[in-house]
Structure 1
């Protein structure tokens, strides 16, 4: 009899997702997609907003239940790695820092509050399927996503946050693009895609806030395993920046004075229309799109008629080109790094919520005509679902970062190397790995003198 339930938590910058499965039998994977939500248009989304509100310094609402008038926080996840330069100085992060100061809370505190709400809701959903006593019958193992470029200290901080949020101690971490890549590659393998040991894939995980790039090489087909073949990279160029650019464009054609007088709910509905329709289906052509904005005055010169705004194709293209251009540069750098190591990129895997965008797919195909671009069919749902898979492993490359620097105090030249450190002596192996509760969680960072 199966005695373990695996819960996958895709903790994202803008949206989060949850899946769970019993580790045994058919391993049917359940995705939580009926979130508490007063807005029916996104009630059955496979992701919920990574947002939480406070009242009298205590957590109140979370996810889609957060109301416009409430004091709420989002983007707090990015602040869990203070050494990561991504996001520093951006409007979203600056606003979050300001609100944290007003609440006298640290990013860890807000993350605990949010994950506590998410975890409690997940437990309630599992109870409806497995019974109220499921925690007495099954042990629980959780798998939590982290960005590929996070430091080991940020990963350790995430584990501590998970424990404070009530998530069981048996927690393992997996990088976000790793989970998404395994989802796509498993899907292609099941469809008969010819995969071979040594095949290299660049993964572009385009999410709401960040875009993560990392590359993997297939190391085993049975069981299916991959290993890193290039160091991860990323930047703040996710789909939320399309939202911001689109809102700035609407404010420009409507006029700042009139924009301030429009009802917040009218603006919110317009942005939902953009997110659920235009952002996903835009393909860079001359197709005409419209959005409704209740209360806006007619202005034929800018395409406003009867509270409907007809969007100019050149304006939309400018909005998308700016964000997608940043993503293309990230992909270019990642492909170059893989090839510098003597590997050939077989395909680019386009995953994540924004990864389903047709224009992004088209632009990548145009830029890499000799490399296949594979787009995940399940969008963000696939990366949520794969977190419940328990039969994969990832092995880091032996040496994947090395930088030279000079000690300003002594003038001594040093190199910093990041690698898996192990010495094999005949049949005896002496390992030097960082472990946490008996499980290998990190490779060793070492400084050594250049003359050595």
Structure 2
């Protein structure tokens, strides 16, 4: 084999080109993602991704600018982010294809450098490339053509001595399905004929696709009904929430707040049940009762305090009024897809799988939500031989749940009894303030839901306790 002779293998490079991912939302960060943003500076040149300082107003949403104006919903075209993106684009006198091509060139060069460090320069030079780029389900043929033009202009399709670089587009929910189906195939309760709906709820678009399982071994699926989608991703939730905050303040109070401070505000809000906007100092603080505070004294025109507490009325209804229109659109898309599946197969889809940034729970990655269930760790203090271990699981019909297990909304769901041959002396010890020594038993209980089926498993020392040693008694 000569130095330039191509090898039989090829390298597949996948690019999930999102609309909005932002590293400033560090409460839900992902180091494997690059921010979809550009900054044009006449003196310093152009920056992209992580190289853009947080305080700069970067160009975002440029992926959505590929759409013709007639195909952009009014709620999107009137959003501040979309109008700002178009304003920056006009100021730079560039078209969306040119901007996307520049971004793709930057991320492509970064990817090639990373691949070369992994496989070596020689193998990289000999291996043809197969490039796969994700596109929203709802995009038209002209959008795909414009994205192809951007990919070509970026240089990723340039001629190479080892062979032609092949480009393929794949729908975003199809890519999400490929990423989750492998885990789904390991579940013991799935069977041929089962149908699933994949909902990829991202920053800009929400895309859906459905599959039916043809066989388990090998695991084969086929598309069930036509995919669906809409422009109702997480950025529109952010937009509605910011509009709510602005309505709570006096007129024009928000005018001097920068986009960087808006991002910081949204980041501080994520995962908090109570939020205060306090015009006192600039640093965010934590109050003694757990409330989150955002201080914008130097930006707001006058001193004022706004309290939002989603755990009580009327603030909870305020939050719901902001989020409900967007969430209702997502719910409608899911319902429409599941109804289409049921109409074709004459039975309901067994699985609805949520992926994408908008579907994430704070602190969890998407695959944790799909395949790992919900797990909680417990401990018992023991002073003598360990026999059967008992735990009680409760359900609650309200959110957030009360701190105690009493109340009309709380009911006992089941009791879990399990046994294991445990050597008391092998456990770590705990000494109470009176000097009494106990042995500490640590274990975990995991709950998984499939359709209407709820299942519990017990884990001890990172190993699953055998089903014959676990007794779950539902009330």
TM bin (shorter chain):
0.5 to 0.7
TM-score (norm 2): 0.60
Is residue 78–residue 87 contact of structure 1 (8 Å, CA) maintained in 2? Answer: no
Indicate if the aligned counterparts of 1:270 and 1:293 stay in contact, CA closer than 8 A: no
Instruction: Name the count of aligned residue pairs.
Output: 332
Inter-CA distance 138–215: structure 2 relative to 1 (3 Å threshold): same
SS at match of 2:139: coil
Contact map agreement 2:351 2:450 (CA 8 A) in 1: no
Question: What is the CA–CA distance in structure 1 between the aligned matches of 2:24 and 2:325, rounded to whole Å?
Answer: 33
Tell whether the 8 Å contact from 1:346 to 1:372 is kept in structure 2 after alignment: no
> Relative contact order: is structure 1 or structure 2 higher (C-alpha 8 Å, sep ≥ 6)?
1
Aligned Cα RMSD in Å?
3.9
Q: C-alpha distance in 2, partners of 1:186/1:10?
A: 18
Q: Is structure 2 residue 210 aligned with structure 1 residue 210?
A: no
What per-residue deviation string (whole Å, max 9, x for no partner) do you get for residues 377-424 of structure 1? xxxxxxxxxxxxxxxxxxxxxxxxxxxxxxxxxxxxxxxxxxxxxxxx
Q: 1:342 to 1:193 in 2, by over 3 A?
A: closer
Equivalents in 2 of 1:85, 1:104: separation in Å?
22
CA distance in structure 2 between the partners assigned to 1:356 and 1:42 by the alignment: 8
CA distance in 2: counterparts of 1:205 and 1:130, whole angstroms: 32
Q: Which of 340, 349, 356 is the matching residue for 2:353?
A: 349
Check if 1:15 corresponds to 2:25: no
- State the Cα distance separating 1:331 from its structure 2 match: 1.4
Aligned residue runs from structure 1 range 11-410, under 5 A:
11-15=17-21, 44-56=30-42, 60-67=46-53, 70=56, 72-82=58-68, 85-87=71-73, 89-91=77-79, 92-168=81-157, 169-196=165-192, 198-262=193-257, 265-275=260-270, 277-278=271-272, 290-295=292-297, 299=304, 302-303=306-307, 312-344=315-347, 345-357=349-361, 371=451
Larger mean Cα displacement after TM superposition, 133-142 or 256-265: 256-265
Check 1:370–1:10 CA distance in 2 against 1; reply closer, same or farther (3 A cut): closer
Q: Which residue is equivalent to 1:6? A: 12
Q: Give the structure-1-normalised TM-score.
A: 0.62
Q: Secondary structure at the match of 1:234?
A: strand
Identify, as 1 or 2, the structure richer in helix.
1
Compared with structure 1, are the counterparts of its residues 165 and 59 closer, same or farther at alpha carbon in structure 2 (3 Å cutoff)? Answer: farther
Q: 1:108 to 1:182 in 2, by over 3 A?
A: same
User: Offset of 1:328 from its aligned partner?
Assistant: 0.9
With over 3 angstroms needed to count, the CA separation of the structure-2 counterparts of 1:58 and 1:127, relative to structure 1, is same
Cα 1:264–1:94 change in 2 (3 A) is closer
Q: In 2, distance between residues paired with 1:112 and 1:372?
A: 47
Task: Please say which of residues 51-60 and 6-15 is displaced more in the overlay.
Answer: 51-60
- What SS does the aligned partner of 2:212 have? strand
